[in-house]
Amino acid sequence: MAVLSVVTLLTLALGATAQASWKSHIKNVVVLVEENRSFDTLVGGLTYNRNIDGVLGKPYCNPVNVTDPNSRQKVCAQPKAQNVAEDDPNHSISGVNMQVFGTWHPDEAKVAAGEEKPTMNGFITEQMLTYHTDDVNRAAEAINYFTPNHIPAFNALAENFVLFDRWFCAVPGPTNPNRAYLTSGTSHGHGRNDAAFDVSGLPQRSIFQQLSERNITWINYSNTTGFLPDAMFYEWTAKSGKALTNVKPINQFYEDAKAGKLPRFTYINPECCSYTSYHPPSPISMGEGFIKSVYEALRNGPQWNETLFILTFDEHGGFADHVPTPVNVPAGDDLTYTENAPDGKPMTFDFKRLGPRVPTLLISPWVGKGVVQNAPAGQAGEFTHTSIPAFLAKLWDLDLLTPRVAWSATFENLITGTLRTDTPKTLPEPVAW
């Protein structure tokens, strides 16, 4: 048997101590998944840290007609996004193909081989086609961005905690497939918000089932109207009775946070899509008010010193982002999805590409102040929605739900050994414009 050196033994001991340390700090995880905003348009204009890979200092433009190589007219991102977007951009998978590749039908074999690359220059074209308009100012809402003055609450959270600037949505498509990937590591071949999500029709094992199997408490607090909260996507939730015991209205969250009765895992669904979700036509100012209320409930509750709050967005919602989307990533399973593109021709997707970047924050008294986390270091994968179940697997010694979860980068290295006492008790008031 080989004899380990003193240095090796010390290194192993320190590594084990560090792992035990970060796990001991986080007893409760809270996840709030807002709706339909890309990184560039929501936070690409933040100025507090020069390391943010946004739109400042490097003009980001799209041609008006991405399908015409001779077209010279362009629309460039400007700091004048509206509180209420006039139009809701297309965010179907074929629509995102146009935004990312400049065509509804990228050659997936060439994409996989690196011969056809994401150009991120079709957002204006897609917006004009979707809304049958020649008004470039109207279409520019898909690429215009917010300033810190527009989003004071979100800006304050970013200034005080950790902002990821390379966190991609799991699917280059709409809400529910992304939410399914976040909560189960796959959408089971669903590429649109179809009826299965409304009748607890997904058969795969989810994080909610996984936690129950390990007797780890969880609640899905929901502000939804007209559709099911994310935990109820799954057959298991309905058949096990957990839909009755573990899905509760949002007002219960505030009561539980105040009383120190939040479960080990809290998952929050916002209202969608008219008031507090950020999804057009939700006003940005009301979305700001909602995240402010959730943060302040946690910050001023008795469980704050053992809480990690993850705030993200389910998908980019068709809003522009300049960073190319990753390709050749593991899918959650071997199922594919087919839809007819706007030209009437079918396109098939195998879930081996990620969607555009979305804003994501890591909020806790155990993380650094004003940190901007770029690409993951020392890990093969990317930060994406399945990084959340991958992190939970490490935190609570769970198995990895799917190949996508196993591939995803995690962020436990951002949890420090120092309990901060300078985290703000309140956030700035939202503004309407």
Q: Which residue is associated with the tokens 């690429």?
A: 143
Cα radius of gyration (the chain): 21
Mean pLDDT of 102-110: 95
Say if residues 347 and 93 touch (Cβ distance below 8 Å): yes
CA distance 168 to 385: 7
Tokens (6 digits) for 217: 């408490």
Query: Integer distance in angstroms from the first to the last C-alpha of the chain?
Result: 71
Residue 225 lies in a domain: yes
Segment 378-408, tens digit of pLDDT: 888 999 999 999 999 999 999 999 999 999 9
- Asked if residue 253 is part of any domain, the answer here is yes
Amino acid at 380: A
Closest alpha carbon to 389 in 402, 373, 375? 402
**Count: domains in the chain:** 1
Q: Quote the domain boundaries for residue 337.
A: 24-43+148-414
Percent over 90 (pLDDT), the chain: 88
61 token code pair: 């433009």
Q: For position 231, which CATH number holds?
A: 3.40.720.10
Is the pLDDT reported for residue 9 higher than 50? no
Contact criterion met (CB below 8 Å) for 327 and 118: yes
Task: Tell the burial category of 217 from Cβ atoms under 10 Å away from its Cβ (0-12, 13-18, 19+).
Answer: middle
What the block records as the tokens of 139 is 């279409």
In which band, very low, low, confident or very high, does the pLDDT at 72 lie, cut at 50, 70 and 90? confident
pLDDT in tens, 55-69: 998 889 999 999 888
What is the mean predicted confidence (pLDDT) over 95-105? 96
Residue 2: pLDDT band by 50, 70, 90 thresholds? very low
| 256, part of any domain | yes
- Domain assignment present for 17: no
pLDDT at residue 17 greater than cutoff 90: no
- Is the Cβ–Cβ distance between 363 and 295 less than 8 Å? yes
pTM of the predicted model, to two decimals? 0.94
Is residue 166 included in any domain, yes or no? yes
Q: Is residue 303 part of a domain?
A: yes
pLDDT value of position 6: 43
Say what percent of the chain tops pLDDT 70: 95
Question: Is residue 86 a part of any domain in this protein?
Answer: no
pLDDT higher than threshold 70 for residue 4: no
Band (324; pLDDT cuts 50, 70, 90): very high
Q: Would residue 236 count as lying in a domain?
A: yes
Band (313; pLDDT cuts 50, 70, 90): very high
Q: How far apart are CA 127 and CA 124, in angstroms?
A: 5
